Chain A
Amino acid sequence: MKSLVLSGVVATLLVFSGCSDKEPVVDAPAQEVEATSTAQEVEAVATETVSSEASDVSSVASELSMADIEAQLSSVYFDFDQFTINTDMQEKISTGASIAKAAALPYNVKLEGNCDEWGSDEYNFALGLKRASAVKKALVAEGIEESRISMVSYGESNPVCSDKNKECWSKNRRVDFKLLP
């Protein structure tokens, strides 16, 4: 209804404007263009250069998607002083394996083992590595090629949380998934 009223108003305005065009036309002399000896240079037209890397549509798309895929892979958490995978963490590994078989297929998987601050020295590094190794075995069991998976341990040196409480410590006992091109 509203649109009908509006188009009515517009039509009326058009009719009225046609009627008001009654002004006499004055024939003005044509203005001469002065010739000058030196032409003034105008600004160059702005251009944009697309570099060869940036012009490759496929590489930009895949870079973005690698980070995106990595964000979908959630860390696997472990119990105090343990490197066996709990049943509630098995689901995360299965999800990780499905992603690795589909969207992350062009990439290799790096597993980073980490520990809480309880423990020290070399034992903690080994514990982190055994955690990464446990996740690797689980991924292989889910059908991921062993050659695609590499591991590293950071012991207690790469914490995501540095508070002194149990929630924080449990967040640090983890294996992170990283993708490598």
Chain B
Amino acid sequence: MAKCPECDADVKVGVDAVKGEIVACPDCGAELEVTETRPLALALAPEAEEDWGE
């Protein structure tokens, strides 16, 4: 478990979480990136840029 950097809520991720995975904060809905798994660390995922997409 780690804190949401946006709203400070407790965020849990699955045991199979991997570095770089995107999760949503259950409280504020912010998109978070798993930056470390042991110990778990979360950062705000980058905002979409112009050339993002499929």
A and B form one complex: no
What is A's interface to B at a CB cutoff of 8 Å?
Answer: none
